[in-house]
Each structure stands twice: as structure tokens, then as C-alpha cells.
Amino acid sequence: MSNVEVLFQITPVSHLNDGVIAQKIDLKTKPQGSLGKLESLALQIARIQGAECLKINAPTMLVFAGDHGIAREGISIAPSEVTAQMVQNFANGGAAINVFCRQLGWQLEVIDCGILTPSKAEGICLQRLGAGTQAIHLAPAMDIATVDKGFEMARQLVERHCQAGCNLIGIGEMGIGNSSAASAIMAAILKLDVKDCVGRGTGISTEVLARKTELLELALRRHQSELDSPKQILAHLGGFEIVQMTGAMLAAAERDMLTVVDGFIATAAALVAVAIAPNVRDYLIFAHQSEEQGHQAMLAHLQAKPLLDLGLRLGEGTGAALALPLIQAAANFYNQMASFSDAGIEAVV
């Protein structure tokens, strides 16, 4: 597989029935537009599923973990060893994402995409592309063959869940240093200055932020001549978990599955996925607006209106997990809410 380019065949979402779907939503027993974002969400789901009755089946949260060479420069609040410790915490059921998945009805799978030391925790899916990426201010994070290998691994993972009946996945991550990779990806794709993309991650100091910015500016200068395609951007600036997150979004769209995108790092993966295959955008639901600087610009570029704004900056897929009841509510009002004619009420327009 390492010498074969992985291609995704994503069907454009049809808009032929938009009028019929919109009329069904408008004729529910409510003023038009009064359910706000839930109405546009129901329209999005109905476009994809093309069914009279919308269904959210076996929602599955995929949390991708990987380590980053740049973290050795001390640009995060914790050392890289914490990635493996948090993966163990996921396996033990003790993290925020575990709590939210149990509460809200998500199935949870954690994927070791390339943390420094292979996870030995029970139940962790091993899809390792290496033992952490290269430091991107010194060398490419990985080669193109590794990107393709990660894409194929992600495709097989999503296919397994699709075959098990899942039609909605959530995308989360864990990786000390991955906000640096996400910031660099954002700068490269949106052609912005690093200072407009880089943020404090989970809470670094002003001094560390300055160092992080300096290293990312160096990385962008070093690789500038090679950043001529989305996959090259991933290879030079990305992370093993960001590669597989990108591949999972593409693979899910290929199988007509919805993807709930978490925060800043997951949205960086979405930027790459949409750059590779623009049709993937129609299959993405953006869960929340992160506290991370730059996330709002990413969302604007993708013409995304996130469902939540809770001041989150944890990652792990926590924002995506919290969005599930809203997605279910959108499907349920579409399926179950009476129309004016059903209820014998004079239509409100």
C-alpha cells in the first residue's frame, strides 16, 4: 500500500429534493425558522440520507492519538509522555470523553496512530505510523507514503464501523503538540501568517506562545516550496493522528456517513479533507467553536456554523460528543413533529 496513492470517491450530495425537504420542515407546527440551526441540520441530514425517516444509528466516537517531534521543544503545557498516559486513561474510562460518551450513548474507540511508546492498554486500536512525527521545524513530519498508509488505515477503520451499522462518527484527538501541527496546517492552507493561526493550546504562557510561534514560522519557511498540495501539507506539517482523522472524514463521506467534527485540531483535518475532496464538506457537522485562536477563521473558511459555543479547549472529541443530542433532536423533530395539517392548526408563515 505504501507505494499506491489512496483515492476517495465521494458522491456529491444531491440538492434536487431541497424544496421538498424544506417544505416539510417549514410546515411543522412552528413559525418558519424558529428551530434555528436544528432546521438546517435536519436539511443536511435529509439530503444525505434521502429518506422520509431520518436515522442516527450506532454513533461512534473515534479518538485518534499521536505524538509530535516539535513537542520536545517544550511548546506545550505537558511533555509527550502525557499522550500515552491519557490514552491509558481513555482505556480505563476516566477521561472527560469517556464520561460524555457513557452519558450520551456514543460508542468509543481510541486509536494509537503513533504515540512515542506503543499502547499496551486493552481495547486500544493500534494503527501506528511511527513513534511520533519528526519535528516540523527541522524536517518533514513524515513522507507521502506514510500519509497514504494512514488514509488506508482510516478507511478500513471507518468501513468496519459502517459494516456494524454506524452512520455517524465523531472525530476527536489526543496528542501533546498537535495544536502546533494544526496551526501550521491552517497557515499553509489558508495562506495566513502563523501569528494569526497559533494559539495557547490547552493553556501555555505568553513566553511559550512566542517560542511556539517562532518555531512554526521556521517550519513554514523551511517547507514553503513543498506545500503545493493538501497531502504535501499533511506530510510536511501534520501529525499521524491528523492524517488518520483526515482519512476518516473522507472515508465516512465515501460511505454516505455523517461526521461530527470536534474543535481546532479536528477542524484542521477537515480543512485538508475539503481541500482534497470538496464534496466532503456536505457530510461534516461542526460541533462547537473552540477557545483556540484561529478556530473561528477556519470555520468561516469552511462556511460552518458550529452548534455550540461553550468555551471548550480540551479536545478528545468532547465538543463533538456534546453535540449528539442536538443532532438527534434535529432528526427527531423532522420525523415526529406534526405538520399544521396533521394537527388541524392554521399554518403560521
Catalytic residues, by residue number, are: 316
* Phi (first) and psi of residue 160, to 5 degrees: -60, -45
What's the CA gap between 286 and 8, in Å, rounded?
21
Given a contact cutoff of 8 angstroms between Cβ atoms, the answer to whether 271 and 260 are in contact is: no
Angle at 324 between CA 318 and CA 330, to 5 degrees: 150
Q: Of 322, 3, 318, 324, which is closest to residue 167 (Cα–Cα)?
A: 324
Q: Coil, strand, or helix at residue 80?
A: coil
DSSP 308: B
- Angle subtended by helix axes 264-276 and 178-190, to nearest 10: 40
Q: Coil, strand, or helix at residue 11?
A: coil
The total of other beta-carbon atoms located within 10 Å of residue 74's CB is: 14
Q: Of 234, 265, 252, which is closest to residue 149 (Cα–Cα)?
A: 234
What's the CA gap between 232 and 107, in Å, rounded?
33
C-alpha cell at 169: 462518527
